[in-house]
Chains A and B, each alone.
Chain A
Amino acid sequence: GENVEQHPSTLSVQEGDSAVIKCTYSDSASNYFPWYKQELGKGPQLIIDIRSNVGEKKDQRIAVTLNKTAKHFSLHITETQPEDSAVYFCAASKSGGSNYKLTFGKGTLLTVNP
């Protein structure tokens, strides 16, 4: 089955700096890659996603890039703010048909220091 590796497990940055989290996946048939942000005591919140027919997607300070050949995708957060502090999870799945199982990375604890 699919395996998703996520790095780093912890990341500490200064407010205003950029943060980058990287994930690799094993199943070349995976075609949907969402990113979730989980704050303490809450469920994961979908923040951005990308499909395999797109190489990059941006939403304000957040961007995701996908390299299908290398089977890796990354989350980029620019101009970080203290409220960006949370655990971030990447995931992969084969969307469509009857495949709605998300395989998650182990998460990255991002701390933004004021």
Chain B
Amino acid sequence: KAGVTQTPRYLIKTRGQQVTLSCSPISGHRSVSWYQQTPGQGLQFLFEYFSETQRNKGNFPGRFSGRQFSNSRSEMNVSTLELGDSALYLCASSRGTLEGEQYFGPGTRLTVT
């Protein structure tokens, strides 16, 4: 069974630009969660989507947004990039049910210059 895939793996953007990251969950999983990982703040929850609906949201500004498609693939978008947005962005896939463990992809390393 294929794991969680994320594209692209590496990205370099300039301050003020926007970026879109993609995540394909494990087949049969309907929930996708996004996390930001930085050395200073660790792993922080961004948002979670289930059946194309955002169910949970973390404490990030509105510049961070996401969506989920009918095939459960998800994208997250960051607009007006800031230097502090440089991070590893991880997505996690889950069945989305009571016993749904979360499985992480390899992440997208975003560098903002």
Contact = CB atoms under 8 A, between A and B. Distances in A.
A49 B102 CA distance: 11
Contacts, number: 60
A36 B104 contact: yes
Interface residues of A, number: 23
A103 interface: yes
Interface in A36-65: 36, 41-46, 49
A43 B105 contact: yes
A89 interface: yes
A104 B90 CA distance: 13
B106 A43 contact: yes
Contacts of B42: 89, 104-107
Contact of B100 (A91, A100, A101): A100
Contacts of B96: 100
Nearest to A100: B48
Contacts of A101: 33, 45, 48, 56, 58
A69 interface: no
A100 B98 contact: no
